[in-house]
Structure 1
Amino acid sequence: MSVIIRKSLLELIFSGAFMKRWNDKLRPMELVEVDKQAHKMIVAWLLFLLNSRDMDVARKRALGESIVEGGLFDYLYRLVITDIKPPVFYRIKENPDDYRTLTNWVLQQLRPRIMPLGEDFLTRMNDYLMQPEDKGLARRILHAAHLYASYSEFKLLKSINRMDHELTEIEESFVARLDSMRDLEGVSELLDEDNNVLGGFARMCGRLRFQKRWSQTPRVPETSVLGHMFIVAAYSWFFSMEVGACRARRQNNFFSGLFHDLPELLTRDIISPVKGASQEIGDLIHEYEIRELNRVVLRPLKEGGYSEIADRLEYLLGLEVGSEFKATVCRDGEIVVAAESQMAGEYNQDSLDPKDGPLLKVCDSLAAYIEAHTALKNGISSDQLHQALFRIRSRYNEIPVVSGVQVSALLADFD
Structure 2
Amino acid sequence: MLVFHLAVILFASKIAGDLSVRLGQPSVLGKLLIGIVLGPAVLGIITNQNILHQLSQIGVLLLMFIAGLETDVEELRQTAKPSTYVGIAGILVPLGLGYLTGLLMELSTLEAIFLGLLLSATSVSISVQALKELDRLKSREGMTILGAAVIDDVLVIIALAFVMSAAGGEVNLAALVGKKAAFFGLAILAGWKAVPWILKRFAPLRVSEAVISAALLICFFFSALAEYAGVAAIIGAYIAGVAISLTDYKHEVFEKVETIGYSVFVPVFFTTIGVAVNFTGLSRYLWVIVLLSVLAILTKLVGSAIGARLSGFGWRSSLGIGAAMVSRGEVALIIAAIGLERGLLAESLFPVIVLVVLVTTVVTPPMMKAFFKQ
Q: TM-score range by the shorter chain?
A: under 0.3
Answer 1 or 2: which has greater helix percent.
2
Structure with the larger RCO, 1 or 2 (CA within 8 Å, 6+ apart): 2
- Taking structure 1 as the reference length, the TM-score comes to 0.23
